[in-house]
């Protein structure tokens, strides 16, 4: 049997397969509120062993992009409850990804009274979309003081509690791709000279403190984290000492007994490939401290490569990204070796159902001929 389609437990939950739907920003949360359209989107994909939602802010300050959801207000919790109920009704499991955008944002995308904050006052180069005025230069962040850091940690923890109230099975902390946690990790975005900057241990501190507080609030078996060693998204830098930093971080995360570590690999989309030795050491250090913890791999996987890495012990779950957008029945297509539909990037972030909930399933495309699925799907 192909390991990709075998069951696996995560905490108290049994997953029906080892296919994870990657977190992907889709920008359909009008006024930052989860809605019925989003419930339809996620429930269409409930055959995945585990769904991880789009990045969801724990704070008004973390809503840097247009139309991304939050999970800090009761109205947002109520909106997410529609999503989790729809997914559970179809037998799925779903974690919310908690993502604070940090310096990645513009004031026009933030609600009144919110501000752009980051470890250091370093402005991201380039432009970001705003619904009010189109593309605009990224806003300049205010450097976080100790009180801001303590407040942000508590916001993550409260967001995790809100997630359980909304019916989520757990949470994933977004520590990757140049957002707030990653901004503390990376020396290119963290120029601090206090206990949150400088050394590896200091730059890891915010990530560890967030994970510890969230695990304390909702239980470590309900908490995962996503990290991106060698990631360059949002103008991150590749620097000396990545392997040492991330293996040290992995050991600390393992000590906290988190449910999983999720590794980002965007090399199939042209980004630098994480060094295999670093990926191996992260896995080994994490599992040494937490033998029951799971390891999620991602990055251009097909069925055959997934089976090989799962059987070889290189990972426990495989995350698939963009083809979940255009193939709501991706699990069935992979199992049957069917052709995959290509997504339309022009509708990745546009409001409304087009390119979101209108992709067809196999039953509606029965004329297609089956093809062994060796094509890349993330």
- Annotated catalytic residues are 179
Cβ-contact 122, 103 below 8 angstroms: yes
**Rounded Cα–Cα distance for residues 328 and 326 (Å):** 6
Strand partners, 96: 171
Strand partners, 338: 370
**Rounded Cα–Cα distance for residues 278 and 280 (Å):** 5
Contacts of 31 (CB under 8 A, 6+ apart): none
Nearest residue to 179 (alpha-carbon basis) of 117, 89, 115: 117
Cβ-contact 10, 262 below 8 angstroms: no
**Rounded Cα–Cα distance for residues 300 and 302 (Å):** 7
* Residue 188 burial (10 A CB sphere; 0-12, 13-18, 19+): middle
Nearest residue to 307 (alpha-carbon basis) of 280, 335, 279, 278: 335
**Rounded Cα–Cα distance for residues 53 and 163 (Å):** 11
Contacts of 40 (CB under 8 A, 6+ apart): 86, 357
Which phi-psi region, left, alpha or beta, contains residue 306 (left: φ > 0; alpha: ψ -120 to 50)? Answer: alpha
Q: DSSP for 256-300?
A: TT-SEEEE---GGGTSPPPPHHHHHHHHHHHHHH-TT-EEEEESS
Of all helices (H) and strands (E), which one includes residue 143? strand 142-143
């Amino acid at each position: 049997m192909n390991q990709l389609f075998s069951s696996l437990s995560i905490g108290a939950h049994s997953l029906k397969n080892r296919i994870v739907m990657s977190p992907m920003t889709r920008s359909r949360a009008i006024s930052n509120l989860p809605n019925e359209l989003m419930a339809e989107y996620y429930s269409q994909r409930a055959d995945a062993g585990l769904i991880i939602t789009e990045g969801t802010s724990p704070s008004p300050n973390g809503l840097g992009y247009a139309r991304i959801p939050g999970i800090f207000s009761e109205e947002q919790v109520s909106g997410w409850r529609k999503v989790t109920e729809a997914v559970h009704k179809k037998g799925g499991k779903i974690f919310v990804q908690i993502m604070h955008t940090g310096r990645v944002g513009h004031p026009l995308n933030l609600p009144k009274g919110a501000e752009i904050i980051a470890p250091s006052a370093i402005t991201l180069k380039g432009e970001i979309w705003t619904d009010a005025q189109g593309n605009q230069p990224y806003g300049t962040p205010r450097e976080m003081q100790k009180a801001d850091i303590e407040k942000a940690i508590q916001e993550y923890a409260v967001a995790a509690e809100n997630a359980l109230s909304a019916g989520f099975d757990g949470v994933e902390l977004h520590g990757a791709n140049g957002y707030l946690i990653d901004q503390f990790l990376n020396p290119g975005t963290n120029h601090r000279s206090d206990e949150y900057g400088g050394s590896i241990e200091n730059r890891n501190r915010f990530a560890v403190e967030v994970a510890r507080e969230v695990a304390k609030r909702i239980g470590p078996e309900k908490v995962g984290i996503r990290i991106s060693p060698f990631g360059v998204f949002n103008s991150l830098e590749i620097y000396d000492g990545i392997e040492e930093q991330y293996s040290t971080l992995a050991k600390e995360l393992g000590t906290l007994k988190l449910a999983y570590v999720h590794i980002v690999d965007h090399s199939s989309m042209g980004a630098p490939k994480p060094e295999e030795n670093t990926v191996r050491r992260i896995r080994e250090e994490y599992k040494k401290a937490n033998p029951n913890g799971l390891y999620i791999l991602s990055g251009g996987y097909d069925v055959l490569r997934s089976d090989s890495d799962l059987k070889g012990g290189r990972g426990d779950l495989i995350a698939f990204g963009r083809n979940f957008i255009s193939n709501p029945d991706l699990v069935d297509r992979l199992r049957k070796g069917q052709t995959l539909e290509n997504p339309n990037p022009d509708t990745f972030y546009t409001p409304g159902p087009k390119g979101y909930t209108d992709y067809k399933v196999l039953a509606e495309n029965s004329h297609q001929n089956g093809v062994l699925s060796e094509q890349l799907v993330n």
